[in-house]
Structure 1
Amino acid sequence: MARVFKRSTVKGAPFYATWTETLPNGRTRKRTVSTRTPDKRTAEQILTKLKSDAAVRFHGLVDPMADRIATEANKPIETHLTDFKNKLVAAGRSRDHIDRTLMHIREYAAFSNGHCPADFTADQANKWAAKLADDDMAARTIQARLTSLKSFSSWLVKHDKLDRDPFASVSKPNPNADRRRERRMLLPTEWRWLMAGTAAGDDFRGCPPIDRQLIYRLAVQTGLRSSELRSLGRGHFHLDGKRPFVKVASKSTKNKQTAHQYVDPVLAADLAAHLSTKTPMAAAFALPTEYFMANMLRADLSNARVLWLRDADDPDERANREESLFLTPQNEAGETLDFHALRHSCGAWLAMRGVEAKVIQSVMRHCSITLTMDTYGHLIAGAEAAAVTANADLTAVPAIIAATEVIADENKGEFSATGTEDCFPFVSQRDGKRRNDDERRRNGRSRKATADNSMASQKKRQNDEPRTLMNVSEKCPGRDSNPHSHNGRGILSP
């Protein structure tokens, strides 16, 4: 028997609808669902609609796939998040990435008061993004949240849990338009002081100075990220060959591809000596947690600045150095230095040394050359100036035409090279242009006359008896024998 009822006596509690539906196989099933309304009349109308839909399905008047999608779309969000999490785990995503993605989706669901995917709308997503921007959240942070949301909706559509993507029209903000933190590179002149400051420092959260020096050198030479360095063990280093390299497993890289990063022989020898004291399964370096990597680098940078200030020869020099931002975490442009800046310094130093952009892209493992050029293109010093200078020899116009022999044509006032020793020293640009124009017009008339003569000759041969084409030199002595010359004429014998 179909009816509506309440499970709670609390004011505002929703009504539940219960009814019995007949399945296609002839069996019956009792269904009970919440109407989500405290109004009894509305709940009864919902019950009537549910019974009607059940009857339509029983008689096969509804597309089974559409009915399945509608059922999935009305399931709770948490039910789908469990399946979506399993998909991310199967794809090899990191735990941090999975937790962050699910957190973003739950944040939107709480904001929009959505209980199921059917409640998702583009307007609510745009409203959520606008609120995040009003809360002074960076464009990159908003972009990350919308990316998580759009990936979830796309997965719902691909797995037949939604009939369409509700967030397909939602646009993500451009992070470059509102970048809150600009990362600076480590200057080459700062490098030796950083090494000295690191050697003079103490252990940082269990990481000794010698380990930190090797970490910094390896990060600058290979561009490895903090998480990639943390994943390295003794077996990841191949240092015995002519081209020593470090191998990073695909599960530890950002693009999920195995990386082979080469190192110079000097660093390879130092790494081999360091790893000889490690067990095969031990980590290569005693690194602190990811949240203290930047603090570790800045502490060594601070020690380096102290040494640099002490190296001043006189008080005036010391005063000038104290006013300088050399070896400070932030430079004049407001760019900051963190551990990822070592990777940035790797690409920047390659660009400053004139290394080709494709090589830099390979070392930095960028997905496209556009990313490489946008990041390091401005550091390729003098590239534009060198390109212009290289074309200077091709585009230069001499002030004097160094003609070996030029004579004047008395009839037409032209200049032509003849091989004699007479030389006209200068031809103005205006005269040269006029000469070229006259020659083009003369050649045009000559070609037109030749074409007219050819057509007339062909027509005459068709109407008359065959005639012999005589040589111009035989018919008209002294004239050019070439019938296509401007001095010659094609003569037909009778």
Structure 2
Amino acid sequence: MASIFKSSPRAKKYTILYFDHNGKRRKKTGTADKVVTERIAREIENRVALRREGIIDPKAEAYRDHEARPLAEHLDAYAAHLADKGRTRAHISLTVSRARRVVALFRGAPLAEIEAGNSATKELARAADRLMAWTAKARLSDLTVERVQAALATLREKGRSLATCNHHATAISGFAKWCHDTHRLREHPLRGVERFNAEEDRRHDRRTISLEELHRLIQAAELGRRHNRMTGPMRAICYRLAVATGLRFSEIGSITPGSFDWHAQTVTVTAGYTKNGEAATLPLPRDLAHDLAAYVASLPPGEPIFPFPRRGRGAEMLRVDLAAAGIPYRDAAGLVFDFHSLRCETATLADQAGISPRVVQRMMRHSTLELTGRYTRPRAVDIEAAASLLPSLKPSTPGTETAALTGTDSRPLPGPSSVLPATENATDDLAPKRNRLTGKLLPIEGARTQNPVG
């Protein structure tokens, strides 16, 4: 039988203590009214008895309880799950906000109302408040393929790229799958959500630059002014580190003085910050390791070595130095050079140095060689230069060989008995000849040919 009590003289509400259908002791908070709490306790006892007799399915009841909770609570639990897996705060925030945005859109929210118009703190807070308001009444049963597909269509109609739409689809589908895996939903409701072909709407194709331009970029950064909290020399050594290791912007942002092993001349990025979820230890060139050691020596331990801006991406920082170096951010072909292009430089320079594709794949930490090939982006002039380095196949006696290939060689060809023999009075010019390629007899110069038509 359930019992009710107050845990302490100062407690305002009563506590209900009971045993569930499995005989496990449970505790539930009641109300400040003892009579109402006793009524709740009796209701609990009735449900336990029905479960014990098999009249109520405990799983079905658990599904009903999860459905009664706001979807926002499940999203908070999903965020905690991602944190337990070691995901970064930025990754969790981006994933959950995308999932919330999809829910808000299929509930009728205007995109402009739930998205920040700029990066100002006040505007970000306003958009976050509106996003929470639009998703406050949503429930798990609202997650259907049709509604999510409609929300993705809205994103596309509002000018978002197909890649952005796919990122939102991944976020909400990942959340739904987790709800199914944790028995919050009977089945995965978004299994049929279709993604878009992002190749049809490429808006951010990257390019690489020449080695000379890369030197100019780093030199311009070295001599450049402070941008936000990054000085010119900071940016220069940051670019050098990005090209030497192929590390991504967020991975570099996680590096602290303790990430380096100066004896082995390596840098390690923890699993929580890498894309594949595995710790990465990468070697450093000797000159870069020497300069980094001098730079890091004066920095406080445990703090990131580069004070990257809290909002925005590395492209904004890089544009300052690109302009100073006279290198366009977007070229005539529409290809851009942003911070991630420095990672493309890593693969391209390694490929140009003749490093084995398998080794380049390991350097880039790619799962397949095909993916590494996407990062190897030679310029048109590099392809032309490579073509000029191919071995020449020109014949050693060009005049004779060319005439032979075209069938105009005047020398008689030694052939089988089918070749007509020359008479004693015949000259060399009247001797029958064969085309070296086709083997057919050539017409004798000066002789009349019969028109087969008439």
Question: TM-score w.r.t. structure 2 length?
Answer: 0.64
Paired residues of 2:21 and 2:48 also in contact (CA < 8 A): no
Q: CA offset at residue 288 of structure 1?
A: 4.1
What SS class does the counterpart of residue 69 from structure 2 fall into?
A: coil
Displacement of 1:124: 1.2
Which of residues 146, 161, 177 is equivalent to 2:169?
146
Please say if residues 278 and 284 of structure 1, whose CA atoms lie closer than 8 Å, have aligned partners that are also in contact: yes
Residues 210/118 of structure 1: CA separation in 2 closer, same or farther (3 Å cut): closer
Q: Give me the identity figure in percent.
A: 29
Gaps of 5+ in 1: 1-22, 33-52, 306-326, 392-397, 401-407, 409-425, 432-494
The residue correspondences of 1:321-332 to structure 2 (distance < 5 A) are: 327-332=327-332
Q: How far apart are the structure 2 equivalents of 1:359 and 1:126? A: 41
Q: Are 1:261 and 2:282 counterparts?
A: yes
What amino acid sits opposite 2:58 in the alignment? Answer: P
Between 188-197 and 147-156, report the one with greater CA deviation.
188-197
Matched, 1:300 2:321: yes
Does 2:199 align with 1:205?
no
Say whether the 8 Å CA contact 1:351–1:377 is kept in structure 2: no
CA distance in 2, matches of 1:106, 1:273: 45
1:76 aligned residue: 70
Q: Which amino acid aligns with 2:92?
A: I
- 2:102–2:152 Cα contact (<8 Å) kept: no
Paired residue for 1:127, among 150, 170, 176?
150
Quote the Cα distance in structure 2 between the aligned partners of 1:358 and 1:28: 70
Partners of 2:100 and 2:307 in 1: how far apart?
36
- Give the Cα–Cα distance (whole angstroms) in 1 for the partners of residues 165 and 333 of structure 2: 25
The residue aligned with 1:469 is none
Superposed displacement of residue 290, structure 1: 5.3
Q: Look up the SS of the partner of 2:348 in the other structure.
A: helix
Query: Which digits, 9 at most, give the CA deviation of each residue in 1:119-153, with x for residues without a partner?
Result: 32111111111222111211111111111111111
> Does the Cα contact within 8 Å between 2:87 and 2:273 map onto a contact in 1?
no
Q: 1:164 aligns with which of 155, 175, 187?
A: 187
Name the SS for the 1:181 alignment partner.
Answer: coil
Distance 1:59 1:232, change over 3 A: closer
Instruction: Give the secondary structure class of the aligned counterpart of 2:376.
Output: helix
Cα distance in structure 1, aligned partners of 2:102 and 2:291: 50
Matching residue of 1:196: 219
Q: Is the 8 A contact 1:354 1:381 kept in 2?
A: no
**Aligned residue number for residue 181 of structure 1:** 204
> Do 1:150 and 1:168's aligned partners in 2 also have CA atoms closer than 8 Å?
yes
* Cα distance between partner residues in 2 of 1:289 and 1:186: 28
RMSD between superposed Cα atoms in Å: 4.2
1:315-365 deviation line (CA, Å, top 9, x unaligned): xxxxxxxxxxxx121111112222222222222222333433222221122
Deviates more, 1:98-107 or 1:329-338: 98-107
Equivalent residue letter for 1:338: D
The SS at the match of 1:203 is coil
CA distance in 1, matches of 2:42, 2:94: 37
Q: Residue 89 of structure 1 corresponds to which residue in structure 2?
A: 83
State the 1:276 CA deviation.
3.4
Instruction: Tell me if 1:352 matches 2:332.
Output: no
- TM-score w.r.t. the length of structure 1 is 0.59
Amino acid of the structure 1 residue aligned with 2:84:
A
C-alpha distance in structure 2 between counterparts of 1:299 and 1:105, whole Å: 34
**Larger radius of gyration between Structure 1 and Structure 2:** 1
5+ long unaligned stretches in structure 2: 1-19, 23-37, 108-136, 394-400, 406-415, 417-433, 440-454
Q: Distance in 2 between matches of 1:108 and 1:298?
A: 32
Structure 1 pair 163–281 and aligned structure 2 pair: CA distance change class (3 A): closer
Preserved CA contact (<8 Å) 2:245 2:346: yes
Give distance in 1, aligned partners of 2:69 and 2:309: 43
Distance 2:228 2:106 in 1: 43
CA apart distance, 1:101: 2.3
Q: Describe the SS at the equivalent of 2:282.
A: strand
1-structure distance, mates of 2:392, 2:147: 57
Contact kept? 2:86, 2:271, Cα under 8 Å: no
Residue identity matched to 1:94: T
Taking the aligned partners of 1:203 and 1:107, their CA distance within structure 2 comes to 36
